[in-house]
């Protein structure tokens, strides 16, 4: 599968853009674990053109994580075009437009998935961004605004006609947010459209290697994007790619997983500062399957998620790994 001149190989598996998740450190770890392509956190066009430091920091890309797309969002043509040019100067491989974020502070203001209620403006922005830059431009969106307006089959054609070079579809409407199940049958309908010639990337509920294989085999997508299942578990790409290529997979040792968690913590602290770096990583610790299903773990879990210093958090992880996990393996 190719996006412009970016060759991602056959059946690529990508890391989805996620706010407060897909920072530079996490993207690089996911790439090392097998992700074929990574996406940055959401970049606000308005904040970028105002040179807000927290936003410009999101443009940093490590050489080892490429190919990488920087994803931008906004609701007006002018700022989106200006932001796309700033992003292009930062040197990503691809510029992605976010027409899929469902959260109220984005979609409620008309950006992200809010554009699904204003398709003419969506098309205007897309064409203007494509015309403004030389890099490949892609789009990520949803099935429609709600159950009564699943417009994605027709919308995919319109976006393709604007000149985008790949389309990612999350199999829910904006109104669903993340409830219910992703509708992969609808994603398949997009792919079955003979007029659609650009690569189609499916997204939504890819939570295991088995579901990844099914997405390719049953629904015919060109690529698959994995989002929430990676939080606290970047090693899922190792399992998925192994399953895809061999039909089975051997999970990484728990020791390797602990090392990856510790690396995320250290790099988060180094990148921000100790207190805020640990706050940033709590979402990964809370979501990680490494800490799920452990008997009588509630008190330790609370302690882990309340730690405020690196020394305190590392001591708790040492106790979990060296004292609690060996007893699990004995049972």
pLDDT averaged per 10 residues, the chain (length 331): 96 96 96 97 96 94 95 97 98 97 91 95 98 98 94 98 98 94 97 97 97 97 98 98 96 96 96 95 96 95 97 97 86 50
Are 48 and 55 contacting, i.e. CB atoms less than 8 angstroms apart? Answer: yes
User: Is beta strand 68-73 parallel, antiparallel or unpaired with respect to 38-44?
Assistant: parallel
Name every residue whose Cβ is closer than 8 Å to that of residue 323 and which is 6 or more positions away in sequence: none
Query: 302: how many CB neighbours lie within 10 A of its CB?
Result: 10
Q: Describe the chain by its helix, strand, coil percentages, rounded to 5.
A: 50, 15, 35
Per the annotation, the verdict on 101 as an active-site residue is yes
What's CA 241's distance to the chain center, in Å? Answer: 17
* pLDDT score of 144: 95
Nearest to 69 by CA among 3, 130, 128, 21: 3
Least Cα distance to 199 among 224, 227, 174, 228 occurs for 224
For residue 327, the model assigns a pLDDT of: 87
Q: What is the CATH number of domain 2-245?
A: 3.20.20.70
116: Cβ–Cβ under 8 A, 6 or more apart, which residues? 99, 122, 141, 142, 144, 145, 149, 151, 173, 174
What pLDDT does residue 91 have?
Answer: 96
What's the pTM value of the predicted model, to 2 decimals? 0.95
* pLDDT score recorded for residue 330: 59
Residue tagged active-site, from 33, 101, 125, 153: 101
């Amino acid at each position: 599968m190719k996006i412009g001149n970016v060759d991602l190989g056959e059946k690529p598996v990508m890391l989805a853009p996620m706010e407060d998740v897909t920072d530079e450190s996490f993207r690089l770890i996911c790439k090392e674990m097998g992700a074929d392509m990574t996406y940055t956190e959401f970049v606000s066009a308005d904040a970028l053109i105002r040179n807000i430091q927290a936003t410009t920091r999101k443009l940093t890309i490590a050489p080892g994580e490429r190919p990488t797309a920087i994803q931008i969002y906004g609701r007006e043509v002018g700022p989106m075009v200006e932001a796309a040019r700033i992003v292009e100067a930062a040197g990503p491989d691809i510029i992605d437009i976010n027409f899929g974020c469902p959260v109220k502070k984005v979609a409620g203001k008309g950006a992200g998935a809010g554009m699904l209620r204003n398709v003419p403006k969506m098309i205007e922005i897309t064409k203007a961004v494509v015309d403004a830059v030389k890099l490949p431009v892609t789009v990520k969106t949803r099935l429609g605004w709600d159950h009564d307006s699943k417009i994605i089959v027709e919308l995919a054609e319109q976006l393709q006609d604007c000149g985008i070079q790949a389309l990612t579809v999350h199999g829910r409407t904006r109104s669903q947010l993340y409830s219910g199940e992703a509708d992969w049958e609808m994603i398949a309908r997009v792919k079955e459209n003979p007029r659609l010639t650009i690569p189609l990337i499916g997204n939504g509920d890819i939570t295991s290697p088995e579901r990844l294989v099914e997405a390719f085999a049953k629904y015919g997508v060109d690529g698959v994007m994995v989002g929430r299942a990676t939080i606290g578990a970047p090693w899922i790409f190792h399992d998925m790619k192994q399953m895809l290529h061999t039909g089975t997979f051997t999970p990484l040792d728990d020791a390797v997983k602990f090392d990856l968690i510790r690396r995320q913590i250290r790099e988060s602290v180094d990148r921000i500062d100790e207190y805020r770096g640990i706050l940033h990583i709590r979402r990964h610790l809370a979501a990680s399957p490494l800490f799920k299903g452990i008997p009588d773990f509630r008190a330790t879990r609370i302690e882990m998620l309340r730690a405020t210093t690196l020394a305190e958090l590392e001591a708790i992880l040492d106790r979990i790994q060296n004292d609690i996990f060996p007893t699990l393996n004995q049972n």
